[in-house]
Amino acid sequence: MILASEDNQTVNYWYEGICPYSGDLFRLPRTLEIEAIARQLMQELEKDYEKTSVEPCSTEVFSGMEGKMYGVLLAESEIGEKLVLKAFSGLLNGKSHLDGWIPPIAGREKVAIAESITLNQLALIKQELIELSEIPERLEYEQKFQEYAFQLQVLRDRHQVFKQARQAKRSQLLAAFTGTELELALKELEGESQREKMARRNFKRDRDQVLLPLLEVIKAADCKMQILKTQRRELSRTLQTQMHRAYVLTNFAGETRSLRELITEGAMPTGMGDCCAPKLLDYAANHNLKPLAMAEFWWGKPSLDGYKIQGEFYGACVERCQPLMGFLLSGRRSPPAPLSFENVAKQHSQNLSVLENVASQHFQIIYDDKCILAIAKPAGLLSIPGRYLDTQDSALSRLQQTLGESSLLYPVHRLDRQTSGILLFAHDLETLRNLSAQFQQKEIHKIYEALLSGKLERKEGVIDLPLWGNPENRPRQQVDFQKGKPSVTKFRLIGYQQNYSRVEFTPLTGRTHQLRVHSVDPRGLGMPILGDRLYGCQVATDRLHLHAKELTFRHPRSQKLIHLRISVPF
């Protein structure tokens, strides 16, 4: 959806909000002009990172690895001069003030000492959490556990062969002997069975003597991590409360309000008042500048949820910015015939992204009985609700709204937000336990179809690359032969579609982002799935071209084999 602004520039997004005092709707566009200015800033950030990579001792480092939102505002002074203001969200490399950048909203200086102390404490906690997550006992436990599991299985298999031999011999003895001779022979067979049981018990005892001390160390580390996370949460909450009371915002009508006055109900989310848009608008209002257009974009590592990608433009975030927009824009002359706020909020949050458009579609229920419900989840819709207000829309929440809160549903597995396909739910806990056990025992068969962003020469094969999620680089996964968990994928080339390859994936394990990493890694297929911006696909496309098209499992009640299949939407 493209709109035209008052000066006939193309508008890709509107920042807007209803003033909490007057009830009027105010808007500010994101135009092609401001997007071009923002891209110039992206180039500067890239150059600064390349420069500081060579000169690591620089005190004004712009870390290209630190993912965050940046913003630019095109404004006009009282004498008609056009100015470009730029801002970053939160802190940049631990600093709130940097030359050439908009300073924080007034009031932060009142809590500067407390902020410095808290940030130092948080940094120490972060480092300790990293060290606890990487204690050598974790890797040693995982390796030894796998070794003992393999050895125990070998022992069980050998004993199973011996057991079958004893059963055959027992039948022969019963047919050939009677009385005392038979009794002694059967007793000898029973003795062999008892000795094998003793061997397995001794093996488990020896295993536990090795593994339990390691497990105790790991449990102690996990317990300490939970305590540290609680401390971190409390420190952050205390600091944020102090900031919210101190922050004072100014709008274009000359009115000033603290964050606490503007948000009177409920707890304010962490970081409110530290985003780019409030910083830019507050600064412009305080310096008698008329805002003309504004743009915000993400730069650096992907966000923790994986949905903010370097170089992409984003609108006002639902939790932190949108509640402030109405007040901040008050007093600014808005374009005539404004759109309704309700329609705008639905239609073009996040740059009218395709994901939002797709997420507004209804999904199809493809199987339903007293035990199981299966749907065709569209790309762009979460499987289950997230933590924050802007991630509550999901397949599960929509089903509950449709079927009623009294209708119980339990997600059996999940699909990535950008992945479409078959998604399974249970109507009761017994069904959930049964299907979960089938997943754990690898009895559920899944088939995906994908378009790869290049020409694949290999026709078929197996990719065996262990995956590990670096806690410092979430949500990305990476191949790691020391820390990674076993991850195996079968693939088959179906054909070509222009310069792309259509591939069928059969995951034999179920790791996070398994197909996406096995596809992009040079030791796998060496090319990302089409539309996978998180793993480096630069092709402009409307979605991640990955679809869960088939699912086969045994019905928990009837034990009949259920085979679900849906068409591929690309």
Residue 233 lies in a domain: no
**Do 87 and 9 reside in the same domain of the chain?**
yes
Please indicate, yes or no, whether residues 318 and 412 belong to a single structural domain of this protein. no
Residues 339, 350: Cα–Cα separation, whole Å: 17
Residues 191 and 90 in one domain: no
| pLDDT at res. 188 | 93
Q: Phi first, then psi: what are they for 554, rounded to 5°? A: -95, 135
Query: With the C-alpha atoms ordered 535, 541, 544, 545, is the resulting torsion angle positive or negative?
Result: negative
Instruction: Please name the amino acid found at residue 382.
Output: L
Please say if 416 is a catalytic residue.
yes
pLDDT in tens, 198-245: 999 999 999 999 999 999 999 999 999 999 988 988 887 787 777 777
Based on the fold, state whether residues 59 and 137 are members of the same structural domain: no
How many domains, the chain? 3
Q: What is the pTM of this model?
A: 0.49
- Note whether 282 and 426 are same-domain residues: no
Same domain, 543 and 410: yes
pLDDT digits (tens, 9 = 90+) for 256-286: 888 878 876 555 666 677 899 999 999 999 9
In a domain, 282, yes or no: yes
User: Are 332 and 364 contained in the same domain?
Assistant: no
Asked if residue 162 belongs to a domain, the reply is yes
Nearest Cα to Cα of residue 266 among 305, 230, 316, 319: 319
Rg over alpha carbons for the chain, rounded to the nearest Å, is: 30
Spatial distance between the Cα atoms of 148 and 139, rounded to a whole number of angstroms = 14
Catalytic residue among 99, 274, 393, 416: 416
Of 352, 387, 419, the residue at which a domain comes to its end is 352
> Alpha-carbon distance 217 to 352, whole Å?
49
Cα atoms in the 13 Å half-sphere on the side-chain side of 368? 9
431/514 same-domain check: yes
In a domain, 119, yes or no: no
pLDDT at position 406, please? Answer: 61
Quote the tokens at residue 32: 């092609």
Angle between helices 136-176 and 179-246 (to 10 degrees): 160
What CATH number has the domain bearing residue 442? 3.30.2350.10
Let me know whether 405 and 537 are in one domain.
Answer: yes
**Domain ends where: 217, 236, 255?**
217
- The verdict on 453 and 487 lying in the same domain is yes
Quick count: other Cβ atoms within 10 Å of Cβ 563?
A: 9
| Residue 112, in any domain of the structure | no
Domain limits at 380?
357-565
Q: Environment class of residue 126 by beta-carbon count within 10 Å: exposed (0-12), middle (13-18) or buried (19+)?
A: middle
* Spans of the chain, pLDDT less than 70: 1-9, 49-65, 108-109, 264-271, 304-307, 332-362, 386-392, 404-406, 472
